[in-house]
């Protein structure tokens, strides 16, 4: 409880007290602007898309790493943790160098009329990069514990692979997958270092909410920064609450089955 208070409860309480001292009306005045809503919408919308992408491909990657043996598997398994090891600023610079119009992937995409860096697509790629390990590493231990006998029993009873996947494997993976999804979503919403370099930071287009908070702090507008932080806190809490409710429902459904 002491660690939880120091790391989580006290900072959140300080933010809420700052907002209370600022006044609910003033908080709404700061948040209810076109620039702030655009930044909040961009951050949460792209974070949700990145988390959904990672939910699907993170589970697939975990399944491949656990169930298959192939050349380069150990290297691929180690590469999953790369976003954990890299400082976020280094990751942002590397992604920008790769996807800039004169970069390796950016120049290739430009031949098809697609620009990646300094657009919302570039932000999405950065968020996918930092969030993928959360899903893969959360699901991997669960896949390792799934006994092959359950799949074999399903097959002997006449079920095809798709039915076995849908009714046997996915229900067992769902709680862990949703946990990884929530972790990836939370990381993406607050991501700053890996995004600001590739985003271009154009107001109303590619400006994320964490950057807007930093701008307010640099202007010594601490009340305005706190107001945007409270808005992000409320939206994040609502999204995580919805995910937790789905997790509870999935656990109960597994127990019922």
What is the distance between the alpha carbons of residues 52 and 6, in angstroms, rounded to a whole number?
Answer: 31
Note the pTM of the prediction, 2 decimals. Answer: 0.89
With 0-12 / 13-18 / 19 or more C-beta atoms within 10 angstroms meaning exposed / middle / buried, residue 168 is middle
CA-nearest of 248, 121, 91 to 178 is: 248
Residue 46: C-alpha distances to residues 7, 178, 185, 230 (Å):
27, 18, 10, 19
Q: What is the mean pLDDT of the chain?
A: 88
Which CATH topology does 31-254 take? Answer: MetI-like fold (1.10.3720)
Token pair in block for residue 16? 């809420």
What is the distance between the alpha carbons of residues 238 and 2, in angstroms, rounded to a whole number?
Answer: 25
Give the pLDDT confidence score for residue 181 in this predicted structure.
Answer: 94
User: Percent helix, strand and coil across the chain, each rounded to 5?
Assistant: 80, 0, 20
The tens digit of pLDDT for each residue in 169-193 reads: 888 888 899 999 999 999 999 899 8
The tens digit of pLDDT for each residue in 66-91 reads: 989 999 999 999 999 999 888 888 99
pLDDT over threshold 50, residue 119: yes
Give the pLDDT confidence score for residue 18 in this predicted structure.
Answer: 85
Eight-class DSSP state of 146: S
pLDDT over threshold 80, residue 159: no
Q: What mean pLDDT is predicted for residues 103-117? A: 91
Q: What mean pLDDT is predicted for residues 121-142? A: 94
Is residue 19 classed as helix, strand or coil in its secondary structure?
helix
pLDDT over threshold 50, residue 256: no
The set of residues, in sequence order, having a beta carbon less than 8 Å from that of 135 and lying 6+ positions away, is 54, 55, 58, 59, 62, 177, 180, 181, 183, 184
Band of residue 164 on the pLDDT scale cut at 50, 70, 90: confident
Give the pLDDT confidence score for residue 253 in this predicted structure.
Answer: 65
The tens digit of pLDDT for each residue in 14-38 reads: 888 888 888 888 889 989 999 999 9
How remote is the C-alpha of 211 from its chain's centroid? 17
């Amino acid at each position: 409880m002491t660690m939880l208070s120091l790391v989580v409860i006290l900072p959140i309480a300080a933010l809420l007290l700052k907002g209370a001292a600022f006044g609910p009306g003033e908080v709404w005045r700061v948040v209810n602007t076109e620039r702030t809503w655009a930044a909040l919408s961009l951050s949460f919308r792209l974070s949700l898309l990145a988390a959904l992408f990672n939910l699907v491909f993170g589970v697939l990657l975990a399944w491949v790493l656990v169930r298959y043996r192939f050349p380069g598997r150990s290297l691929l398994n180690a590469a999953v943790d790369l976003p954990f090891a890299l400082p976020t600023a280094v990751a942002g610079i590397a992604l920008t160098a790769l996807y800039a119009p004169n970069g390796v992937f950016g120049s290739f995409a430009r031949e098809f009329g697609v620009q990646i860096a300094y657009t919302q697509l570039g932000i999405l790629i950065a968020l996918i990069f930092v969030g993928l390990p959360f899903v893969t590493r959360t699901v991997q231990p669960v896949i390792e514990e799934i006994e092959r006998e359950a799949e074999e029993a399903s097959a002997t009873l006449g079920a095809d692979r798709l039915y076995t996947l849908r009714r046997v494997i996915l229900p067992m993976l769902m709680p862990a997958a949703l946990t990884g999804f929530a972790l990836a979503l939370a990381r993406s919403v607050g991501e700053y270092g890996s995004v600001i370099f590739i985003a271009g930071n154009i107001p109303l287009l590619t400006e994320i909410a964490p950057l807007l908070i930093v701008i307010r702090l640099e202007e010594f507008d601490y009340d305005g920064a706190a107001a945007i932080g409270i808005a992000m806190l409320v939206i994040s809490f609502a999204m995580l609450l919805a995910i937790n409710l789905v997790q509870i429902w999935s656990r109960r459904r597994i127990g019922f089955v």
